Structure 1
Amino acid sequence: MADTPETTETARDQEFIEYVVKMLVDNPDDVKVGRKIDEMGVLITLDVHAEDMGMVIGREGMTAKALRTLLRVIGARNNARVNLKINEPAGSERARRMETP
């Protein structure tokens, strides 16, 4: 399938977040970015290695907030609402705490 200008333009948000996150983390091969479009807009999902969650979230969530802000700017250029969901990895501390009664 050949890239149309529309396809290339709309996939930039996914490529951007993947590039930035891979530069932040210690395990770039474990970074997985998904993209879903629905009536609410574009949802970018991000999966990273459990050890890298701290770098992606940042102190008090500042890194995650910055990533979301940049994605919204990219979306605004394409008249789309773009949101970022960072999935909790299976082996993370938070996942273990939530499982413990």
Structure 2
Amino acid sequence: IEYIVKSLVSNPDAVVVERRIDEKGVLLELTVDPEDLGRVIGKRGVTAQSLRTLLRALGTKNDARYNLKIVNNDGDMAADDCSISGVKVQSFVI
């Protein structure tokens, strides 16, 4: 995921993926620069959905469940009060 996202964004040095394991599976917390947040989410969430599909395939192969949380570089989750290109983004854990 980190390799793919770094190729999408304009500031690849700001991309960080943290992995946490709990009883629900593996949570990948993707941190990106605020300017790149729209690129990672994509129009109508298409890019984020594609990342989720890749994780689902990986989970099937490894018999695990992967979740992706996209966070901007300020540590704020891309959530209720985040606006991208005038479009309000709702709670965003995929």
Q: Which moved more, 1:41-50 or 1:83-92?
A: 83-92
Q: Secondary structure at the residue paired with 1:87?
A: strand
Which structure has the larger Rg?
1
TM-score by length of structure 2 reads 0.77
TM-score by length of structure 1 reads 0.72
Q: 2:28 aligns with which of 26, 37, 44?
A: 44
Query: Are 2:8 and 1:20 aligned?
Result: no
Structure 2: gaps spanning 5 or more residues: 89-94
Query: Are 2:18 and 1:34 aligned?
Result: yes
Q: 2:60 aligns with which of 65, 73, 76?
A: 76
Count of residues paired in the alignment:
80
1:94 is displaced (CA, Å) by 1.5
Following TM superposition, where does structure 1 have runs of at least 4 consecutive aligned residues deviating by more than 2 angstroms? 88-93
Residue number in structure 2 paired with 1:14: none
| Greater strand proportion | 2
Structure 1: gaps spanning 5 or more residues: 1-16
Q: Calculate percent identity across the aligned residue pairs.
A: 55
Residue number in structure 2 paired with 1:94: 82
